Structure 1
Amino acid sequence: MQGTVHGVLAVLMVLLATQASLAQAEFTVLDEAQDASSPASSPAPASPADPASPPPICGTKPINIARMGWSSAAIMAEIHARVLAKAFDCKVQVVPGDLATTGSSMGSTGQPAVAPEMWVTRISDVWNGAVKAQMVRPAATTYTEQVFEGWYVPSYVAATHPDVVSGVALQTVLPEIAGGQKVQLISCPVDWGCNIINQNLVHSLKIDELVDIVAPANRFAMDSLIAEAVSKREPFLLYYWQPNAVLAQFNFAQIDLGPYDEDAFKCLAQSNCADPQPSSFGPESVMIALAEWVFTDAPKVAAYFTRASLPTSEMSALLMALNAPGASVETVADQFVAERADIWSAWTGQGGE
């Protein structure tokens, strides 16, 4: 009997201990729930999102600048790379390029981002396709002038016979400046299209009997003829284009060939032009081309390029500097950035320095 009582008491003690444990567990759960609902233990409300930081001035994509194979375009690429780094702290890479390949790449991938000297009429199909696809667009003209070819006369001739700069006066002036002898017209090589234009211009101005057209064998011979004639201070006319070191090295005055007439000029460019009529050389579209993303991703950089047109006379001076002993495209660009803030600071929109 006594054993039975002890057994019952043992069972009761176990039950009481179990209930106490369950009660403690319940209180613990309630306490945790209360703690979770109390203001002191509630997580801090989410703070409003920080305002988005402004996009970087140089955008979020690489700014690659195409350096074409001819000197003026190479100089412009190096100049823009330096100015963007100096004025905007942009990381810029100069990459090799050419008209067709660069135009196609910009139109399909948006790289390179910049082509500083894009002769768009030379690759019109590629260019027009890229513009239509909204992958590229012009920011500004590369040069402030759009007519790059013309006839010139040495300044020492123009100083004594100022009427020579008028094409319509050549019939009267040419016999005077050469003592009745024929005046040399240094044209371009015979296999260049400009040689046909020059021949037809001579016919249109009715000076066939007054000039002797000289078609040099190549560009080197052309420049040598010009230098030799200048050194002897001979009276002569010449065809040339700009920008070019020759026009900066020697002092020439441009001859006014009259207004540009599109139909007349088309005829001048044909070897069988039946009735040549005077016209100045036609304009050509030379653009600073930007990938479309530059306008949206780096608008300040895009704005820079919309202001970055350069006078052809300034580029001619840079090309002349490139001919100096030891000069390179890079050293010419360095010198321009160091000395010509009067020009490039206007491109940045920051005024003169």
Structure 2
Amino acid sequence: MLAGPAWAQITVLDQAQDQMQQEAGTPVAEPAEAETPPPPCGTQPLTIARMGWPSAEVLAEIHAWLLAREYGCQTRVMPGDLAATASAMGSTGQPAVAPEMWVTRVAEVWNAAIAAQMLRPAANSFAQTQLEGWFVPGFVAAAHPELKGTAQLRQVLPTLNGGKPVPFISCPLDWACSLINRNLVAALGLKGLVEVIEPENRFAMDRLIAEAVSRKEPFLLYYWQPNAVLAQFDFAALDMGAYDAEAMACLAQQGCAAPRPSAFPGETVVVALAEWVFTDLPAIAGYFQRASLPLAEMNLLLAQLNESGATVEGVAERFVTERQDLWKSWVGSAP
């Protein structure tokens, strides 16, 4: 290591050399600047499919907000529907993201795209996969803590309505779930304990539910998630036990001779990513591999969307602003 006069001599020589280069017109080399790392989303806008139902619309806008805010990404939200979006992702790799892909509804297209290595799933869109089930009003659940699931209905129902059958708001007659529900009533030994009501359509179904809640009468209902109704009113889900594929196959038939209880089948609903997102944008793929929203939270967002003057963009912005406790784990160590 040089010190004292020797170091001073080198410094003087360097200064003299710089002066000679300047007099000769030779530019003095500037220190090299560090290269700017590429943005985590790349240099082109990241396309996100906003498919045409409320939960998918809200998810698309939430992800667009968070990618811009936390990763500095440019995003472009584009309209789409389930089949067309899956087909486009499988053939062109665009859009890059579909936040709510119902895989079983487009199974043929999905499987072909997976085989061609054009797309693959990231996280489940929702933290729970059991989307259909039976529910009771919250006040019934509070008054009967022993009522945890459908297995306890035979004991509890006779105490709810003065000995009269308890209304069971099922689905419209032309829906597959109406037949399944009737067979489940038989499988659970509930004939004579419930009065099955099959509304004309979805709107009549929601009206019947609202009227029953306002009268504070005990009732049983079938419903599905995500849905605003389950957040607007206080309902408790009943544990329907395990899913039994063989039992469900019988429950779905008009002439099910020996119905046995079963939960409804789970749904595969995922965040779908174009394959190139995993290879070219690993930080963004990692975000989407963590971005799974609890169903109850989506129900709340849909209830907010039903408020007067609400917009999809406004509900998404409110979520990003107020619910960091939910989305912070999705972001992880974003730059």
TM-score by length of 2: 0.88
Whether 1:191 aligns to 2:174 is yes
Does the CA contact (< 8 Å) of 1:150 and 1:255 recur in 2?
A: yes
What is the one-letter code of the residue matched to 1:306?
Answer: Q
1:154 aligned residue:
137
Aligned with 2:199 (options 216, 221, 226): 216
Whether 1:170 aligns to 2:173 is no
What is the one-letter code of the residue matched to 1:88?
Answer: Y
The root-mean-square deviation of aligned C-alpha atoms, in Å, is: 2.0
Q: How does 1:108-147 map to 2 (within 5 A)?
A: 108-147=91-130
2:73 aligned residue:
90
Query: Bigger CA drift: 54-63 or 198-207?
Result: 54-63
Q: CA deviation at 1:55?
A: 3.5
Whether 1:347 aligns to 2:315 is no
1:271 aligned residue:
254
2:307 aligned residue:
324
Does the CA contact (< 8 Å) of 2:44 and 2:74 recur in 1?
A: no
Does the CA contact (< 8 Å) of 1:120 and 1:287 recur in 2?
A: yes
Q: CA deviation at 1:184?
A: 0.6
Q: How does 1:47-126 map to 2 (within 5 A)?
A: 54-126=37-109
Provide the rounded CA distance (Å) in 1 between the counterparts of 2:123 and 2:267: 13
Query: Bigger CA drift: 261-270 or 212-221?
Result: 261-270
Q: CA deviation at 1:251?
A: 1.0
Does the CA contact (< 8 Å) of 2:104 and 2:268 recur in 1?
A: yes
What is the one-letter code of the residue matched to 1:147?
Answer: Q
Query: Bigger CA drift: 243-252 or 57-66?
Result: 57-66
Q: CA deviation at 1:165?
A: 3.0
1:7 aligned residue:
none
Aligned with 1:281 (options 233, 251, 264): 264
Does the CA contact (< 8 Å) of 1:260 and 1:279 recur in 2?
A: yes
Does the CA contact (< 8 Å) of 1:171 and 1:207 recur in 2?
A: yes
Counterpart secondary structure, 1:163 = coil
What is the one-letter code of the residue matched to 2:94?
Answer: Q
Aligned with 2:281 (options 298, 308, 313): 298
Counterpart secondary structure, 1:165 = coil
Provide the rounded CA distance (Å) in 2 between the counterparts of 1:51 and 1:159: 63
Counterpart secondary structure, 1:162 = coil
Whether 1:225 aligns to 2:208 is yes
1:208-253 alpha-carbon deviations (Å, 9 max, x no partner)? 1111111111111111101110111101000001111111111111
1:6 aligned residue:
none
Whether 1:312 aligns to 2:295 is yes
Provide the rounded CA distance (Å) in 2 between the counterparts of 1:317 and 1:60: 35
Provide the rounded CA distance (Å) in 2 between the counterparts of 1:96 and 1:296: 25
- The structure with more radius of gyration: 1
Identical aligned residues as a percent: 59
What is the one-letter code of the residue matched to 1:151?
Answer: W
Q: CA deviation at 1:53?
A: 5.9
Counterpart secondary structure, 1:279 = coil
Counterpart secondary structure, 1:207 = coil
Structure 2 unaligned spans of 5+: 1-31
